[in-house]
């Protein structure tokens, strides 16, 4: 069975602090895809990143970075110099299909960035 765990239910930081959101996944498949989605207060889900199981290279996009480690089945997300606009619920998700139809979402981490 596939499972995604986000142990941090809620995190509060002060603006400009760095914050890391943890994601641990379980799957028996050798080919799989990991995702991060952001759900701002407006409610829609916004795609942030996809990483496939064959690519453990870390990725940086502006203030966002992702650390994928197969050895620990983790796909952590770090926001550097957080901003108030980063306040949202962040979901980690796992799929064994490239088209995402078998998304298993984690419970989400609510991040509050205080001014």
Partner 1 sequence: DSGVTQTPKHLITATGQRVTLRCSPRSGDLSVYWYQQSLDQGLQFLIQYYNGEERAKGNILERFSAQQFPDLHSELNLSSLELGDSALYFCASSDPGRALNTGELFFGEGSRLTVL
Q: Given the rule CB under 8 A, which residues bind partner 1?
A: 33, 35, 37, 42-47, 50, 91, 93, 95, 97-108
Q: How far is the CB of 93 from partner 1 (least distance, A)?
A: 8
Closer by beta carbon to partner 1, 64 or else 105:
105
Q: How far is the CB of 15 from partner 1 (least distance, A)?
A: 27
Q: How far is the CB of 56 from partner 1 (least distance, A)?
A: 16
Residue entry with tokens 């089945």 = 73
Closest CA to 100 of 6, 30, 8, 36: 36
| Cβ atoms 48, 59 nearer than 8 A | no
Three-state SS for 70? helix
């Amino acid at each position: 069975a596939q499972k995604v765990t986000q142990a941090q239910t809620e995190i509060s930081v002060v603006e400009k602090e760095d914050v890391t959101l943890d994601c641990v996944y379980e799957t028996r498949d050798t080919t799989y895809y990991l995702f991060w989605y952001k759900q701002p207060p407006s409610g829609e889900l916004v795609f942030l990143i996809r990483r496939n199981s064959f690519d453990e290279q870390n990725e940086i996009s502006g203030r966002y970075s992702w650390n994928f480690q197969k050895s620990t089945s983790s796909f952590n997300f770090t926001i550097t110099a957080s901003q108030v606009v980063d306040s949202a619920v962040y979901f980690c998700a796992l799929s064994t299909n490239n088209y995402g139809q078998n998304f298993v979402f984690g419970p989400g981490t609510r991040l509050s960035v205080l001014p």
